Structure 1
Amino acid sequence: MNIGLQITTDMNALMKEVEKEIEKETIKHLSAVLERSVELVRNKISEGGDAYQDHTGNLRSSTGFIITKDGKVVHKSFKESPVGTDKQTGLSEGLKSALSELRPSQGYAVVLVSGMEYASWVQSKGFDVLRGAYMGLDQILQQAFNEIGTIE
């Protein structure tokens, strides 16, 4: 007596599901690493050695990032500064600045910005506007992707 088992599955549907899970994990890890990096500069207080005073809240609010996949935004992070008199301008300028940097691309891309027009001037005066967020970021990203491991 023969016993047999036939399993029929749609491999295309299965591959799409695996691809979605990989994309979800990639975005999760990318955004977590970038969020930690950006928080380092967002959270500096004005009494610190390389921190700047942000009276309006615009500069800190304009500091953030977007993640794209195949040229389309899949994640964005801009947060209102906890201090200041006009934080909304910074939020909109930061996002606008990041979107203006988008280029047609394949795969994942990250745009990290401080979107106010005077951000580079403040950084040139020795204050940490964005430098602390991207220094060593390539090594941190590599470590994050090594932690992804296998999807279960």
Structure 2
Amino acid sequence: MGIRMTTKLSEVHDMLMREAERVERLTIRALSKLGEQCVTKIRDRAGDKSWYDQTGNLRSSVGYVIAHNKNIIQYSTFNQVNQGSEGVKTGKDLAKELAKRYSNNYVLIVVAGMNYAEFVEAMDNKDVLASTELWAREQVPLMLEKLKRQIAK
């Protein structure tokens, strides 16, 4: 008994490529949503729950990038707060630098780019990235499960 394939190989290839592109779009959308949630949790807190802005640079340096195989696919907006234009540039530059360190797969990088972010966090128990990182680590398995369901549709 023989089975003859009537579909052209190029049609199968095209279908597989469309599906791969759909999976990539869903993956980027899921990472973007998580990144936006992280940025919101970091930036949109009152000073007593995070830190009080002096120049606005630290809050302006908060953002994220999504990269795949060292290539940046998407940036968040690094919105300037007060006179924090230096923070916008520093945050973006740090995110770009960190993206180069991941050679395969997808990566979401959330940054507070000013070099004194760790000091602010250590001083008086101020929260810059720490609580959001813990929250994001809890969200990743949930996000991946949702992504699997979306891909299976």
TM-score, length-scaled by structure 1 = 0.85
Q: Can you give the 5+ residue segments of structure 2 that lack an aligned partner in the other structure?
A: 1-5
Matches within 5 A, 1:63-78: 63-78=62-77
Give aligned-pair identity as a percent: 25
Matches within 5 A, 1:18-97: 18-46=19-47, 48=48, 50-81=49-80, 83-84=81-82, 86-97=83-94
For 1:108 and 1:16, locate their aligned partners in 2 and report how far apart those are by CA, in whole Å. Answer: 18
Q: Which residue of 2 aligns with 1:112?
A: 110
Which 4+ residue blocks in structure 1 deviate beyond 2 angstroms?
6-9
Q: Which residue of 2 aligns with 1:140?
A: 139
Which structure dedicates a bigger proportion of its chain to helix?
2
**Change in CA separation of 1:123 and 1:76 when aligned onto 2, cut-off 3 Å:** same
TM-score, length-scaled by structure 2 = 0.84
For 1:56 and 1:129, locate their aligned partners in 2 and report how far apart those are by CA, in whole Å. Answer: 15
For 2:102 and 2:32, locate their aligned partners in 1 and report how far apart those are by CA, in whole Å. Answer: 21
Task: Report the 3-state secondary structure (helix = DSSP H, G, I; strand = E; otherwise coil) of the residue aligned with 1:65.
Answer: strand
Q: Which segment drifts farther, 94-103 or 19-28?
A: 94-103
Matched letter for residue 109 of structure 2: V
Matched letter for residue 11 of structure 1: V
Q: Which residue of 2 aligns with 1:3?
A: none
Q: Which residue of 1 aligns with 2:3?
A: none
Superposition RMSD in Å: 1.7
For 1:109 and 1:150, locate their aligned partners in 2 and report how far apart those are by CA, in whole Å. Answer: 19
Any conservation in 1 of the 2:78–2:91 contact (CA below 8 Å)? no
Shift of 1:55: 2.4
